[in-house]
Amino acid sequence: IQALQISENKIIKTKMLSRACFRQFSASIRRMSSTNIVETNIDSGTGFATVTLSQPPVNSLDKNLLTAITDRFKKLSDDSSVTGAILTSKFDGKVFSAGLNIVDMFQKSDDHLGEFWGMVQEWYLTIQGFPKPLVSAINGHAPTGGCAMALMSDYRVMVEGKTIGLNETLLGIVAPFFFADLMIAAVGRRHAEFALNNGYLYTSDEALKIGLVDEVVNLDQVVPTALKILTKMTKTPQPAYQVCKNFLRKETMDTLRNDRAGDIAHFVGFVQQPNVQKAIGGYLQALKQRKK
């Protein structure tokens, strides 16, 4: 009987302990009401939000994903309990993001293209204007718009052995001026001209050499390294951090803000050209046939 009582007490204690652990865990990690394509967890101890892009197969930025990311970052900006954020992908070891969804640019009406580009502008203005420290944990390939999105963060940690770059010209399209300015800000005009004119995709190590990313680590170190640097960045007095970040980025953002309609018209006119459509169609086909 005594033995039974002892083991029953042990069970009760174990249950109490696991309930306490669960309470502690649920108190420290808050899951934001996320769409399933953008998962967000907030650590209530540090205030760090981890935003994980989760749209299969490659996080291509279609209207749904652009809107979900934009909404998420707007909420994180407004949430005073959030001190900083990490942007990463669910498809670790494979793809961070395949950039803008090419299907949204092929054989579409002017209205579709205009609405799509308006969403691209809003996505750029929101992440680039995110007032808190933001670190990209680039755990897979990051071509074109995927690279641009990583460039909008304040620090880039990349997994070894993948590729990154603004390689639009290889598709027969041209990176918009606000993508080009992101690259110039990171690597300087000389490297940016070479990278954009030639649609050059850098390996992780090459990207590190020119300053396109800040650190290259193995896969299981990507997020921990991002967390480490975020911890440092959030120690800077935040009003000063925000003012500084805003004034350094304001010029290009203002150029876009001041003529969004003109920029949309420019995009639609460019993409609807028959030779551009032909190039995009050919590229899409090549992408589909790569696997065969």
Ligand X SMILES: CC/C=C\C/C=C\C/C=C\CC/C=C/CC(=O)SCCNC(=O)CCNC(=O)[C@H](O)C(C)(C)COP(=O)(O)OP(=O)(O)OC[C@H]1O[C@@H](n2cnc3c(N)ncnc32)[C@H](O)[C@@H]1OP(=O)(O)O
The one catalytic residue in 140, 145, 165, 199 is 145
The one catalytic residue in 61, 76, 87, 100 is 100
The nearest distance, CB 252 to ligand X, in angstroms, is: 14
Q: Which residues contact 275 (CB under 8 A, 6 or more apart)?
A: 172
Q: From CA 113, how far away is CA 118, in angstroms rounded?
A: 9
Q: From CA 65, how far away is CA 76, in angstroms rounded?
A: 16
Query: What distances in angstroms separate CA 99 from CA 107, 152, 237, one per listed residue?
Result: 18, 13, 33
Strand-pair partners of 143? 165
168 in catalytic set? yes
User: What residue ranges bind ligand X (CB under 6 A)?
Assistant: 57-58, 60, 94-95, 98-103, 141, 143-145, 168, 171, 173-174, 176, 266-267, 270-271, 287-288, 290-291
The 8-class DSSP code of residue 140 comes to: S
- Structure token pair of residue 244: 């500084």
The nearest distance, CB 116 to ligand X, in angstroms, is: 10
39 in catalytic set? no
The nearest distance, CB 145 to ligand X, in angstroms, is: 3
Residue pair 43/84 in contact by the 8 Å Cβ criterion: no
Strand-pair partners of 5? none
Which C-beta is closer to ligand X: that of 241 or that of 267? 267
Strand-pair partners of 165? 143
The nearest distance, CB 55 to ligand X, in angstroms, is: 10
The one catalytic residue in 168, 196, 212, 227 is 168
The nearest distance, CB 277 to ligand X, in angstroms, is: 12
Which C-beta is closer to ligand X: that of 98 or that of 229? 98
Q: Which residues contact 134 (CB under 8 A, 6 or more apart)?
A: 84, 85, 86, 87, 127, 152, 153, 154, 155
145 in catalytic set? yes
Which C-beta is closer to ligand X: that of 171 or that of 230? 171
Which C-beta is closer to ligand X: that of 82 or that of 195? 195
100 in catalytic set? yes
**157, containing H or E segment:** strand 155-159
Beta-strand pair 29-31/38-43 = antiparallel
Place of tokens 């696991």: 18
Which C-beta is closer to ligand X: that of 74 or that of 177? 177
Indicate which residues carry an active-site annotation: 100, 145, 167-168
